[in-house]
């Protein structure tokens, strides 16, 4: 229980600054989503979980354009995480699906390659 409480007190990094990312990139869409009302209405622990799930994806794929994310590549990203951490893969798929749904809302995509 002590480890759980300690994990809850970890400060998540702030969202990436929109000035330092390419417009339409995954990093830019995530930054917009993290400023959205949908994300703001989540509990602090859910916000932390979402950020922790997105951080490794952004480190590797943040520069890629969200409109160019094919279904097969999205599936590969989730399967790669699931090979060692299936619970994190499920969370990442859910969170990434919400981020892509946000991209659809703002007109950057027409479909969601990660339906939940």
Over residues 31-77, the pLDDT tens digits come to 999 999 999 999 999 999 999 999 988 888 888 899 888 888 888 88
Predicted TM-score (pTM) of this structure: 0.77
Contact 12, 52 (CB under 8 A): yes
Residue 116 has pLDDT above 70, yes or no: no
Q: Domain limits of the chain?
A: 43-116
- Residue-wise pLDDT for 103-113, tens only, equals 999 999 999 88
Q: Where are the alpha helices (DSSP H) in the chain?
A: 2-8, 26-34, 37-40, 44-61, 71-82, 86-105
Residue 71 has phi, psi (to 5 degrees) of: -60, -40
């Amino acid at each position: 229980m002590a480890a759980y409480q300690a994990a809850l007190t970890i400060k998540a990094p702030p969202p990436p600054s929109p000035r330092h990312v390419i417009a339409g990139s995954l990093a830019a869409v995530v930054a917009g989503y993290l400023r959205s009302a949908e994300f703001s209405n989540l509990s602090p622990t859910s916000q932390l979980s979402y950020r922790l799930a997105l951080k490794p994806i952004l480190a590797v794929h943040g520069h890629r354009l969200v409109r160019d994310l094919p279904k097969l590549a999205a599936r590969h990203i989730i399967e790669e995480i699931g090979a060692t951490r299936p619970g994190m893969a499920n969370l990442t798929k859910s969170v990434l699906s919400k981020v892509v749904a946000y991209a659809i809302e703002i007109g950057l995509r027409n479909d969601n390659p990660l339906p939940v």
